[in-house]
A = this chain, B = another copy of it.
Amino acid sequence: MNIGEIAKRSGVARSTVSYALSGKRPVSEETRRRIQAVIDELGYRPNAAAKALKEGRTHTIGLVIPPASRRLTDMQLGFVASVVDAAAHADLDVLLSPSGGEHDRSFERVVGGRRVDGVIVMEIRLEDDRVTRLRQAGLPFVGIGRTSRPEEMSWVDIDYEKLIANCVHHLADLGHRHIALINRSEELVAAGYGPGHRAQAGFTRAMAERRLDGVQTCCADDAQSGVSCVERLLDERPDLTAIATLNEAATPGMYHALAQAGLVVPRDFSIAGVSARHWAENLHPPLTAADVPADELGARAVEMLIRLIADPTTPHGHLLVAPPISLRGTTGPARARDDRS
């Protein structure tokens, strides 16, 4: 069932069928109906590959996600969902490419084979060779996250530096003097993962401004690691009364470790974080956190990409969001740990 078959059965030329479908040339009502009848009968659909080959457009965007084996955080899942959703609304399909490592076949296929009209890249590093590759390929792309030279690309991002600083200030305002930053995983930070580095910077700056005593640590993205990380911190730093974190996957573990240590949140210990709202609200007690609007960011990234595809000379778009901290149940006045009765 191709266009030639339809043409034959309708007794018209192939081009007439094409025009009848696209409407780019007028076709008499009579023949149009005859053609449509045949199409409906045979259930004809134009072949996407032929169309793509001719038009040079695939009506597909690539979405580069962290390797599937590594578990996506709730926030990342939110990005994926909103990108897929926004793309569907624009009648675009989404081709997934799980690519975080260095030499990646999937990424190369998607980028090199012109399988997509544009790409959205998640989990960008400060120096990211996927970005280099995309630029070299001349393929429109938008980052969810930005490199160390952000003016050179289009992106949407979360201002982790400011958000973590805000967390510190919030905790400091509550009287906390000894605060820990629990970052994302060691590998991620070592690999130059932007949010990890910017969070460090924000923490260091805010702690210095407030003349506070802090400690920074990395923690893998899962609850188990959150447990051991907090256990270690409580052990090594008896003066600690609060945590600031961007590691949402580890927060349940942090809660657990604190509870095990007999610390009641927020009475004895405070936590302030950066997290998807959904995630923060589902924790018990709900996490005081800057709520990352993942759906909005994903949708805006798709918007930018669509614009860029339509006109590749469009100037780079940048969207840096710093949502306010939603006060929920995990921060309260500081209370020395040996104070508790």
| Interface, chain A (partner B; CB < 8 A) | 43, 45-53, 58, 60, 63, 65, 67-69, 71-72, 77, 80-82, 84-85, 88, 91, 93-98, 105-106, 108-110, 112-115, 136-137, 222-224, 252-253, 255-256, 259, 278, 281-284
Distance A334 CA – B112 CA, assembled complex (angstroms): 62
Distance A284 CA – B136 CA, assembled complex (angstroms): 48
Distance A95 CA – B259 CA, assembled complex (angstroms): 43
Q: Are A114 and B48 in contact (CB under 8 A)?
A: yes
Q: Are A106 and B85 in contact (CB under 8 A)?
A: no
Q: Are B68 and A93 in contact (CB under 8 A)?
A: no
Q: Given A68-B82, A77-B72, A95-B95, does the pair A49, B114 have CB atoms closer than 8 Å? A: yes
Q: Are B105 and A97 in contact (CB under 8 A)?
A: no
Given the complex, which residues of B lie within 8 Å of A224, measured CB to CB? Answer: 281
Distance A84 CA – B64 CA, assembled complex (angstroms): 12
- Which residue on chain B has the smallest CB distance to residue A99? B88
Distance A222 CA – B277 CA, assembled complex (angstroms): 13
Given the complex, which residues of B lie within 8 Å of A259, measured CB to CB? Answer: 284
Min CB distance, A100 to chain B, in Å?
A: 12
Min CB distance, A332 to chain B, in Å?
A: 19
Distance A53 CA – B48 CA, assembled complex (angstroms): 9
Q: Are A282 and B93 in contact (CB under 8 A)?
A: no
Distance A137 CA – B283 CA, assembled complex (angstroms): 45
Distance A72 CA – B79 CA, assembled complex (angstroms): 12
Q: Are B84 and A278 in contact (CB under 8 A)?
A: no
Distance A82 CA – B71 CA, assembled complex (angstroms): 10
Q: Are B223 and A282 in contact (CB under 8 A)?
A: yes
19 A-B pairs with CB atoms under 8 Å apart are A43-B136, A45-B112, A45-B114, A47-B53, A47-B114, A49-B52, A49-B53, A49-B58, A67-B85, A84-B98, A85-B98, A91-B105, A93-B106, A94-B95, A94-B96, A222-B282, A224-B281, A252-B283, A256-B284
Q: Are A88 and B98 in contact (CB under 8 A)?
A: yes
Distance A95 CA – B48 CA, assembled complex (angstroms): 13
**Chain B CB within 10 A, most for which of A50, A255, A278:** A50
Given the complex, which residues of B lie within 8 Å of A114, measured CB to CB? Answer: 45, 47-49
Given the complex, which residues of B lie within 8 Å of A67, measured CB to CB? Answer: 85
Given the complex, which residues of B lie within 8 Å of A136, measured CB to CB? Answer: 43
Given the complex, which residues of B lie within 8 Å of A278, measured CB to CB? Answer: 71
Min CB distance, A152 to chain B, in Å?
A: 20
Residue of B88, B109, B281 touching A68 (CB-CB under 8 A):
B88
- Which residue on chain B has the smallest CB distance to residue A78? B71
Given the complex, which residues of B lie within 8 Å of A283, measured CB to CB? Answer: 252
Q: Are B93 and A252 in contact (CB under 8 A)?
A: no
Q: Are B48 and A113 in contact (CB under 8 A)?
A: yes
Distance A197 CA – B109 CA, assembled complex (angstroms): 41
Q: Given A91-B105, A95-B95, A96-B96, does the pair A113, B46 have CB atoms closer than 8 Å? A: yes
Distance A181 CA – B254 CA, assembled complex (angstroms): 31
- Which residue on chain B has the smallest CB distance to residue A256? B284
Min CB distance, A280 to chain B, in Å?
A: 11
Min CB distance, A221 to chain B, in Å?
A: 12
